[in-house]
Amino acid sequence: MTDPKCPAAPIGFDDFMKVDIRVGTIVEAQPYPEARKPAIKLVIDFGEPIGRKTSSAQITRHYRPEDLPGRQVLAVVNFPPRQIGKFLSEVLTLGVPDSDGEVVLIGPGHEVPKGGRLF
């Protein structure tokens, strides 16, 4: 993995378009104490045709499961599913690090339709 503080190597626009980043609404959030690093299990609704997908997110520093339903987030929806312990994470929920390196979720600044693609 490259140094996250350094810019990545340049890519073409066609490469960027291969990564399918969509907005979804969190509909369920549960603690995931079995994870190696503290995490929350999410169910995110992307609307049709994607539907509801699961994600394990290491976001416990800034978020409580009971506060997350209804929040819109961005996620990569076209990576292969990844097994996180006994939980299958189907999408990668996106965030950026705060000054301590803890994850802060990324979402739209206004309510938008579910399933909208980042461009």
Q: What is the CATH number of the domain that holds 61?
A: 2.40.50.140
pLDDT at 117 over 60: yes
More confident residue, 100 or 35: 100
Q: Output the pLDDT for position 74.
A: 98
Q: 5 lies in a domain?
A: no
Instruction: Give a yes or no: residue 35 inside a domain.
Output: yes
Q: What is the pLDDT of residue 105?
A: 98
Q: What range does the domain containing 87 cover?
A: 15-105
pLDDT of residue 36: 87
Domain assignment present for residue 55? The answer is: yes
- Written in H, E and C, the secondary structure of the chain is CCCCCCCCCCCCHHHHHHCCEEEEEEEEEEEECCCCCCEEEEEEECCCCCCEEEEEECCCCCCCHHHCCCCEEEEECCCCCEEECCEEECCEECEEECCCCCEEECCCCCCCCCCCECC
Domain count, the chain: 1
In a domain, 33, yes or no: yes
